[in-house]
Amino acid sequence: MPQPIRSDPSTSGQDDRLIAGFAALAIAIHILEAAFPSPLPGVKPGLANVVTLIVYLRHGLQMAVWVAAMRVLVGSLLVGTFLSPTFMLSVTGAAGALAALAVTGRIGGRHVGPVGLSVVSALTHMSGQVFVAYHLFIPHPALLKLVPILLTAALLFGTVSGLIAANVLRLLARPAAATA
Amino acid sequence: MIKAGDIFILILAVAGVGATYGALWAPRSVGHTAVITVDHQVVRELPLGTDVELTINGAIGDSRLAVDQGRIRFIDSPCPGRYCIHSGWLSRTGQVAACLPNGIVVEILGEEREYDAINL
Amino acid sequence: MRRTDTAQRGAAIAALLIIPLIALSGCSRAEPETRIRFTAMGTLVEVTIFGTAEQEAEAAAREVEALFGDLQRRWDPWHDGQLGRINATAGTGQVPEVSIELADMLDRAAQISRDSQGLFDPAIGGLIRLWGFQDGDNPPTEPPSATEIERALDDSRPFTELWDGRDRSLRLPAGTAIDLGGFAKGEAVDLAIELIRARGITDAIVNAGGDLRAIGRHGDRNWRIGIRDPRDQDVLAAIEVAGDESVFTSGDYERYFIYDERRYHHILDPRDGQPSRGTVSVTVLHTEAALADAAATALFVAGPQQWEETARLLGLDRVMLIADSGTIYLTPEMEKRVRLREAAASAVVVRSLESH
């Protein structure tokens, strides 16, 4: 199992394993997404953002950034898309989602939960990818026609992811809930 | 599990995404590209998204065209009649302006044309 | 594991949602429509053919192009084609040679001239040349003097006097000239449609500088024609055409110049040699393009006062006349056919063409 980077000395050993597990999960989802058909090559729904969100809510922004970076790098290496257009789209998507999480988390504070954070980060993720896709790869008007649909999908995904994340966090917070 | 801020975000998001339908699914008869021909041979295909001015060389000299906010028009031409300039701004699929003495024709391409032909 | 399971379910549902949406928004069906454009008779001609293989459609369109080029040469009043040589005999006493096709055409032109009580007159070539409207690319910049106009009027004769329908010959005194301008485009369009039909094509539009004849339909819908507003770039009225119909418009904006803040356009009134006043444009719907062309000219000259009588005499029922005042006159049949834009509705006056 890969050793997590110890940037926060207060993190317990169990959390270390959890974070590593999350990273692995995120990578797995990333690979899974690569297998899915997509309306635009490389533009992904961002399912792995669920993991990023959970890590962010449980362990803070820095850990979330780490897990996301791991996911994008290792995931692309394993799938074989490292430094490809798909990779750039992944990076943009992940970066956008993280930025959105950070900003929304800071502004919203207590009033915003996993669902809200997830929706914002999913929309940012998708918008970022579309932006890069349009300007760098396919500057064709037909792409613009797909945008409303892609955004709607992102909105739905974001809501579902948020609910999933909320449930997961609840499970993890139960005192007796021990995950090996 | 769901907080006030979440609801707020959801409402904004739904409104925002809905708006993109309105904005991007505009009538398909609005053109996106101008095709410019000289002597009926295509010389330029110009996306209407970028504002630009350009010069096209024709049979009797240079005609100048301008693209502005999704529309295109002749702004100067060496012909005596200047009918091309009087044609004004073109933006809808199928619209055409021509400087016949200079052999230059500009046509708007789009997804759907509102009319198969224009009578004038 | 439940987490991945839910995630996978979520992904599957999303995929099920997205894929049909993508399919719905998908690319437009490629329709077998061919459009060929060329320049002829001083204008842009566009041939649109629907439902025929591209190669065949293109071949037909190129044949139409060749036809137009040929007719242009033949019917040019001032150069070396048939009509040009005919006009060159004016004042020489020579009887010019007139081909059978041209004689047929002149017969029909004479009939229209009679029916329109001389408002359509193909013998005003001398006046047109005086004004300088014979060259579409080089419009004149100032009007001729009153004296010059009077002299040209004195020289000219009504076409029906010059054309002998019985022995099918012309006698042109000095200063007269035949200019088929208000008729030739329509005639060319008719011949082009005939040519297209002869090739077995049933759905097409031949559009010569905005005046057109459409046959058949656009697949499973009618042809949609937009009539442009005489003063701006917008479409003033929409019409659907199916079967076989011509749409011809004469307007004061086609060939004109502004002098001393006044507009001088190319549709001259044969009675006074001046651009006809009172009308901005006339649109005629009729099966035959040649008649529609000549009629649009005649009705323009007839103006808001006389157009109903002229339309009746010419046997038309679908006419729209836009007057200087902004009033849009329609026959009842025309009112049924056109869909005017919102703002124009208040300017409409329907006139029934019945004799009063």
Contact with chain C for residue A140, Cβ under 8 A: no
Q: For position C323, which CATH number holds?
A: 3.10.520.10
Contact with chain B for residue A169, Cβ under 8 A: no
The per-residue pLDDT for range C130-140, each reduced to its tens digit, is 999 998 888 89
Q: Cβ atoms within 10 A of the Cβ of C315, count?
A: 10
Residues 6 or more apart in contact with residue C179 via CB below 8 angstroms: C77, C122, C123, C124, C125, C128, C129, C134
Cα B25 from Cα B12, distance rounded (Å): 20
Which tokens belong to B101? 């003495």
| Sign of the torsion formed by the C-alpha atoms of C235, C238, C242 and C248 | negative
pLDDT of A51 over the 90 cut: no
What is the pLDDT, as a whole number, of residue B28? 65
Contact with chain A for residue B20, Cβ under 8 A: yes
Which tokens belong to C214? 């459409």
pLDDT of A5 over the 70 cut: no
DSSP state of A2: P
Bridge pairing between strands B117-119 and C223-228: parallel
> Do C314 and C253 sit in the same domain of this protein?
yes
Number of domains in chain C: 2
Do residues C37 and A59 lie in contact, with contact meaning Cβ atoms separated by under 8 Å? no
The per-residue pLDDT for range A123-133, each reduced to its tens digit, is 888 888 888 88
> Do C75 and C154 sit in the same domain of this protein?
yes
> Do C61 and C170 sit in the same domain of this protein?
yes
Question: Average of pLDDT values for C283-298?
Answer: 98
Cα B58 from Cα B77, distance rounded (Å): 10
DSSP codes, C28-66: PPP--EEEEEEEETTEEEEEEEESS-HHHHHHHHHHHHH
Residues 6 or more apart in contact with residue B15 via CB below 8 angstroms: none
Do residues A93 and A148 lie in contact, with contact meaning Cβ atoms separated by under 8 Å? no
Cα C116 from Cα B58, distance rounded (Å): 42
Chain A residues touching residue B21 (CB < 8 angstroms): 148
Do residues A106 and A124 lie in contact, with contact meaning Cβ atoms separated by under 8 Å? no
C2, part of any domain: no
What is the pLDDT, as a whole number, of residue A125? 87
Quote the pTM value: 0.70
* Residue at token pair 């063409």: C353
C267, part of any domain: yes
Q: C49 to chain B nearest CA, in Å?
A: 11
Which tokens belong to A166? 């909320």
Amino acid identity, residue A142? A
DSSP state of A175: T
Mutation test of the interface with chain C: which of A164, A171, A172, choosing the one with the most C Cβ atoms within 10 A? A164
What is the pLDDT, as a whole number, of residue A97? 86
C199, part of any domain: no
**DSSP helix, strand, coil percent of chain C (3-state; round to 5):** 40, 25, 35
> Do C162 and C238 sit in the same domain of this protein?
no
pLDDT of C336 over the 60 cut: yes
ipTM: 0.85
What is the pLDDT, as a whole number, of residue B102? 96
**What are the two backbone dihedrals, phi and then psi, of residue C290, each rounded to the nearest 5 degrees?**
-60, -45
Cα A111 to chain centroid, rounded: 21
DSSP codes, C138-176: S--SSPPPHHHHHHHHHH---HHHHEETTTTEE---TT-
> Do C246 and C162 sit in the same domain of this protein?
no
Q: Cβ atoms within 10 A of the Cβ of C237, count?
A: 22
Task: Give the residue from C181, C199, C230 where a domain finishes.
Answer: C181
* Residue at token pair 């169990």: A14
C169, part of any domain: yes
* Residue at token pair 């809501």: A159
Q: Give long-range contacts, CB 8 A cutoff, 24+ apart: C300-307.
A: C300/C250, C300/C251, C300/C267, C300/C276, C301/C119, C301/C120, C301/C267, C301/C269, C301/C270, C301/C276, C302/C116, C302/C119, C303/C276, C303/C277, C303/C278, C303/C279, C304/C278, C304/C279, C304/C329, C305/C278, C306/C119, C307/C279, C307/C282
The matching CATH number, chosen from 1.20.210.10, 2.60.320.10, 2.30.40.10, 3.40.1280.10, for B33-109 is 2.60.320.10
Q: Which domain holds residue C226?
A: 222-350
Which tokens belong to C158? 């009504």
pLDDT of B96 over the 90 cut: yes
C205, part of any domain: no
- Searching chain A, which residue's CA lies closest to the CA of residue C7? A47
Contact with chain C for residue A65, Cβ under 8 A: no
Cα B74 from Cα B54, distance rounded (Å): 10
Chain B residues touching residue A148 (CB < 8 angstroms): 17, 20-21, 24-25
> Do C46 and C177 sit in the same domain of this protein?
yes
pLDDT of C244 over the 90 cut: yes
- C-alpha dihedral over B15, B16, B17, B19, to 10 degrees? 80
Cα B15 from Cα A148, distance rounded (Å): 12
Do A120 and B14 count as a contact with CB atoms less than 8 A apart? no
The per-residue pLDDT for range C6-19, each reduced to its tens digit, is 445 445 444 444 44
- Angstrom CA distances, C108 to A75, C114, C212, stand at 81, 10, 20
Place A175 in a pLDDT band, splitting at 50, 70 and 90: low
* Residue at token pair 């918008």: A127
Structural domain spans, chain B = 33-109
pLDDT of C128 over the 50 cut: yes
Nearest to B3 among A113, A144, A155 (CB): A113
> Do C57 and C129 sit in the same domain of this protein?
yes
> Do C160 and C249 sit in the same domain of this protein?
no
Do residues C75 and C85 lie in contact, with contact meaning Cβ atoms separated by under 8 Å? no
> Do C152 and C238 sit in the same domain of this protein?
no
A135 or B69: which carries more pLDDT confidence?
B69
Task: Give the residue from C154, C181, C208 where a domain finishes.
Answer: C181
> Do C248 and C336 sit in the same domain of this protein?
yes
Chain A residues touching residue C20 (CB < 8 angstroms): none
Q: How high does pLDDT run on average in chain C? A: 90
> Do C48 and C162 sit in the same domain of this protein?
yes
C7, part of any domain: no
Cα C198 from Cα C67, distance rounded (Å): 14
Please name which of B78, B110, B96 lies closest in space to residue B40, comparing C-alpha atoms. B96
* Coil, helix or strand at residue B53: strand
Interface of C to B at Cβ within 8 Å reads 28, 37-39, 42-44, 46, 48, 136-139, 205, 207, 210-212, 214, 218, 223-228, 232-233, 235, 238-239, 247-249, 251, 255, 283
What is the pLDDT, as a whole number, of residue C26? 37
* Residue at token pair 């649909």: A149
> Do C56 and C151 sit in the same domain of this protein?
yes
Cα C14 to chain centroid, rounded: 55
Do residues A128 and A55 lie in contact, with contact meaning Cβ atoms separated by under 8 Å? no
What is the pLDDT, as a whole number, of residue A153? 87
Q: Which domains, and CATH codes, for chain A? A: 13-173 (1.10.1760.20)
Q: C4 to chain A nearest CA, in Å?
A: 8
Residues 6 or more apart in contact with residue A38 via CB below 8 angstroms: A44, A45
Nearest to A50 among C7, C13, C25 (CB): C7
Q: Give long-range contacts, CB 8 A cutoff, 24+ apart: C152-156.
A: C152/C126, C152/C127, C152/C273, C153/C127, C153/C272, C153/C273, C155/C126, C156/C123, C156/C124, C156/C126, C156/C127, C156/C270, C156/C273
Question: Average of pLDDT values for C239-266?
Answer: 95
What is the pLDDT, as a whole number, of residue A131? 84
Burial (CB count <10 Å: 0-12, 13-18, 19+), residue C157: middle
Cα A48 from Cα A31, distance rounded (Å): 10
* Coil, helix or strand at residue C335: helix
Question: Average of pLDDT values for C52-58?
Answer: 93
What is the pLDDT, as a whole number, of residue A176? 56
Place A42 in a pLDDT band, splitting at 50, 70 and 90: low
User: What H or E segment, with its residue span, contains residue C208?
Assistant: strand C204-208
Please name which of A30, A171, A156 lies closest in space to residue A93, comparing C-alpha atoms. A30
